Amino acid sequence: MVAFALTVSVSSLSLAEDTFTLRLAQTWGPNSPILGETVEHMAEMAETMSSGRLKIRIDASNKHKAPFGIFDLVRNGQYDMGHTASYYYKGTIPNAMYFTTVPFGMIAPEQYAWFYHGEGMELMQKVYEPYGLLSFPGGNTGNQMGGWFREEIKSLDDLKGMKMRTPGFAGEVMSELGVAVTNIPPGELYSALERGTIDAVEWVGPALDFSMGFHQIAKYYYSGWQEPGAEVQFLINQKTWNSLPADLQEILRVAMRTAAYDMYIQSTHESGVAWDRMKEDYPDVTHKTFPPEVIEALRGATNKLLKEAAEQDELAKEIINSQREYLRQVRQWTNISDKAYLDSVAGE
């Protein structure tokens, strides 16, 4: 849905130009830190760079009432754009979830390299094109934490029967290990944990977890395995995109890419600040890593599910193989650069 408004220049020598107002629906609630700020930042850049010709009106989830319905809202033309995470829609388009993250997969810099210099963007468009949509990287949280747990996880048996909120492919992996997995909208997570509807919750990391208050209920905070680089997305209705002049398409593309990068560095900054504060203000919060037997079981379940997905769907196979091959190549560099540096200065 594109609203057209004719703006006439005061100069008789200037040509009138169309002004486009796009409506965007986001999964996040009003005043959502980082995630919501990313959308606002993108909209501000697009309007500034276009000298006001491109305006984006943002509706939070409390307005459209469908936090996990962004895919349908944009596909059906109720909104021109969306900001969400592709793995929320694995029930409708299973192949979309690989573009948010894959357990034991690429970290954020590797993932961005795959998107923009590997086959990521091309494959993502293969998935979304049949639905009349375009998808663009919309911001990365970096390596996410494994979640908040009421009880310490000492063995695989501690996972069996546990009720946990964790979305996407990781949810399927956890289910393989006997976890009762559920996906709950962000605004309901704290109350679900507080009331015992769930025993554990995986959200993002300190930058966003601290404000959610999970640490007031669950004291065991585990490092992650499931989302080494979690990319959210901008969705755009193809008809809306086609209606934009070429210069506004490019302005929107640049605004989205810049806002996505800014979200990644903001997440890194805010997580550092939040974790430092959490350690000082809530010393009873205990950081943990999952036991080796749990990690190996999670890895085994991940490989099993990826193998099954590749056998059942040719496009899934193409995406999985592309990610695997790219990771094989780029991880060699990560290992002798970032990993080697961190290993060599461990303890400092």
Tokens of residue 274, six digits: 């939040």
Please state the separation of Cα 295 from the chain's center in Å. Answer: 22
pLDDT recorded at residue 261:
97
For residues 56-63, give the mean pLDDT. 97
* pLDDT score at 346: 74
Q: In whole angstroms, give the CA distance from residue 71 to residue 74.
A: 6
Give which of 320, 248, 254 is closest to 98, Cα–Cα.
320
| Amino acid present at 278 | M
Q: Kindly state the percentage of the chain with pLDDT values over 70.
A: 95
Given pLDDT bands bounded at 50, 70 and 90, which one contains residue 347? low
Q: How confident is the model at residue 27 (pLDDT cuts 50, 70, 90)?
A: very high
Please state the separation of Cα 257 from the chain's center in Å: 14
Query: β-strand 286-288 against 220-222: which pairing, if any?
Result: parallel
Kindly give, in sequence order, each residue whose CB lies less than 8 Å from that of residue 156, ignoring residues fewer than 6 positions away.
Answer: 177, 293, 294, 297
pTM of the predicted model as reported, rounded to 2 decimal places: 0.91
The radius of gyration computed from the CA coordinates of the chain, to the nearest angstrom, equals 21
Nearest to 182 by CA among 199, 159, 194: 199
Count how many residues are written for the chain. Answer: 348
User: For the segment 76-128, what is each residue's pLDDT rounded down to a tens digit?
Assistant: 999 999 999 999 999 999 999 999 999 999 999 999 999 999 999 999 999 99
pLDDT of residue 2: 44
Residue 348 binned pLDDT confidence (cut-offs 50, 70, 90): low
Mean pLDDT within 55-68: 97
Say what the pLDDT of residue 252 is: 98
Q: Residue 10's pLDDT band (boundaries 50, 70, 90)?
A: very low
pLDDT tens sequence across 202-229: 999 999 999 999 999 999 999 999 999 9
Mean pLDDT score, 183-209: 94
| pLDDT, mean of residues 311-328 | 98
Dist CA 216 CA 222 (whole Å): 15
3-state secondary structure at position 101: coil
Q: Enter the tokens of residue 321.
A: 């193989």
